[in-house]
Amino acid sequence: MNLQNPNISTDRPIIRQLDEAAINRIAAGEVVERPASAVKELIENALDAGATRITVDIADGGKTLIRITDDGCGMTGDDLPLAVARHATSKIDGSDLLDIHSFGFRGEALASLGSVGRLTITSRAKGADAAQISVVGGRIGPVKPAGLTRGTVVELRDLFFATPARLKFLRSDRAELQAIVDVVRRLAMAEPFVGFTLNEVSEGNARCLFRADPQSGDLFDALHGRLASVLGADFTENALRIDIEREGLRLTGYAALPTYSRGSSAQQYVFVNGRPVQDRLLLGALRVAYFDFLSRDRHPAAVLNLIADPQRVDVNVHPAKAEVRFREPEAARSLIISGLRHALAGAGHRASTTVANETLAAIKPEAPLQRQWAWSAPPTPSHSSLAAAFSAQAPAMAPPTGFAEMPSARLAQSEPVEEAVVHHPLGAARAQVHENYIIAQTADGVVIVDQHAAHERLVYERLKRQSVENGIARQALLIPEIVELSVSDASRLLEIAADLEALGLVVEPFGGAAVAVREVPAILGQVNAGALLRDVLDELADAGQSHLVRAKIDAVLSRMACHGSVRSGRQMRAEEMNALLREMEATPHSGQCNHGRPTYVELKLADIERLFGRT
């Protein structure tokens, strides 16, 4: 039975010009996806106006009220009708869409918001009187006089009242509010010199959800202070300063140590010229920079800003401006990877302070139960009863036992350690306990080293260095393996054939859409070439570049390092322990093992004394 397609009509369709209200509502569907989108657009307008303090008031997750108050340059009464008109903006003149230095530039946000909600703008420019204009469901009202000292107040009520179908697709008030908090946090990190306040308004009461005061100092001092208030002191204490410039691109910000990894990518913030973006190219580069230091289920934490000439980056490729396109994407990607790896290498053996904090929390004794007793004055004890009590509490005298004679510990050195050795970052080895943990004394604390994890990292770094210096040995296949691919996949694979060859994988065209694998990295042993190439293509499609072959080689080197390192249970001499500590201090990335776990824990003497109530 043949059924006619309902979208195909025998009548000739008529082309119509949509009215302005319909055009605005269609545009609003792209610009204003949810209340958080409206907050983002309005805050960006305030930043473009030069605001130094921005206050956001929200009710019902932004569904019934969004109010943005700023102290920017403001607008005059003559500016207001143009401000709510489509494609009217003060940001650009339209002559060059690649020379954009502001957050906004399309002139769509206010018109879109006014078409789907009840929008009121009150503003005052310097030297002019305050004025107000309202837009309800796309209908623009007259300009009226108003009272305002400076800046602009934009109030949006009943979002999507003119398009009630959109309301059904919004999430709960709590979920929408959380999305707004995330938007404000991201913009606060982008502009550390601007103060931000987010309030939840309910029945006339305001509850502060987020506050970030303006920071002072240079860019890095201001950003450091802002990140401490937004992400917490743990992040800033364990973050490395990033400042690298190459090929006209500059990367600034902070990236956390590998041992400060997270269970999700929630603490990954990337900006381009100060604009928050969710760009696959940049986030993929961030993952690649850490891939040799973290296990698959852990994610790095970082706040990075890539600064580029506006002519080299296109921000007009996404309706919400959440993605960008670079003229030289490989240069941007390479800068992030090399910049982060250089910073991580410069950190040496350093591990995050959160490791020590978690250790102290684990060994902290539980507080004794507090019982409520009826108090009465105790009777005064006699002198003889006091003497008997003191005698009973005195410790029993036992023959002196040296640390080396204890069954679970092995003495590192019986003679006093030289003061210079103690002042090394990881101190001097004092003992080995449970045949796996080295106890070292530093100038101001104690270091506990996992000997197997530490030596595993040292051997791994040594093997990687040797593979780079000597090259990767290749194994020629007796019969080349022919892999059939699509034309586009074969083309993409052959584009990176030189990079694959440097890693020991030799791929050549074999006519049509087929490729021939002639050599493979010898260290990988038996390889399913077809599966390997398809995995490489999947990574190319996802991240734009593949590090799969390198990762597989490093995984083999990691296993070799694991089997070739000092095993748990082996007793070590004092000179071996100290040699291990000195090599850790000289080897980059030795603060974490091959799987991202810490290789040592450092406890400060003040923290240890606090555990015993000596402070």
Is 4 within a domain?
A: no
Task: Evaluate the CA torsion angle 598, 600, 604, 609 in order and state its sign.
Answer: positive
Over pLDDT 90: what percentage of the chain? Answer: 33
CATH number of the domain within which 294 lies: 3.30.230.10
Residues 202, 238 within the same domain: no
d(Cα 391, Cα 398) in Å, to the nearest integer? 16
* Cα 484 → chain centroid: 39
How many Cβ atoms sit within 10 Å of the Cβ of residue 478? 5
| Domain-ending residue, one of 299, 321, 346 | 346
Is 591 within a domain?
A: yes
The residues near 93 (Cβ < 8 Å, ≥ 6 apart) are: none
Is 405 within a domain?
A: no
Residues 138, 162 within the same domain: yes
Residues 114, 204 within the same domain: yes
pLDDT value of residue 5: 58
Residues of the chain below pLDDT 70: 1-10, 20-31, 87-107, 317-321, 351-422, 542-548, 550, 556-557, 559-560, 563-565, 567, 615
CATH number of the domain within which 199 lies: 3.30.565.10
Residues 202, 226 within the same domain: no
Is 3 within a domain?
A: no
Map tokens 């260095």 to a residue: 465
Q: Which domain holds residue 599?
A: 449-615
Residues 228, 201 within the same domain: no
Beta bridge partners of 428: 441
Instruction: Characterize the bridge pairing of strands 195-202 and 53-59.
Output: parallel
| Domain-ending residue, one of 312, 346, 380 | 346
What total of structural domains would you count in the chain?
3
d(Cα 179, Cα 193) in Å, to the nearest integer? 23
The residues near 509 (Cβ < 8 Å, ≥ 6 apart) are: 490, 494, 515, 516
Residues 319, 190 within the same domain: no
pLDDT value of residue 40: 93
pLDDT value of residue 33: 84
| Domain-ending residue, one of 346, 365, 386 | 346
Residues 275, 130 within the same domain: no
Q: What is the SS3 assignment for 207-244?
A: EEEEEECCCCCCHHHHHHHHHHHHCCHHHHHCEEEEEE
pLDDT value of residue 393: 44
Residues 236, 187 within the same domain: no
Residues 285, 204 within the same domain: no
Is 133 within a domain?
A: yes
| Structural contact between residues 490 and 514, judged by C-beta atoms closer than 8 angstroms | yes
Is 392 within a domain?
A: no
**150 vs 55, 211, 400, CA distance in Å?**
14, 21, 79
Residues 29, 165 within the same domain: yes
Is 157 within a domain?
A: yes
Cα-flanking dihedrals φ and ψ of residue 50, to 5°?
A: 85, 25
Residues 196, 244 within the same domain: no
Is 431 within a domain?
A: no
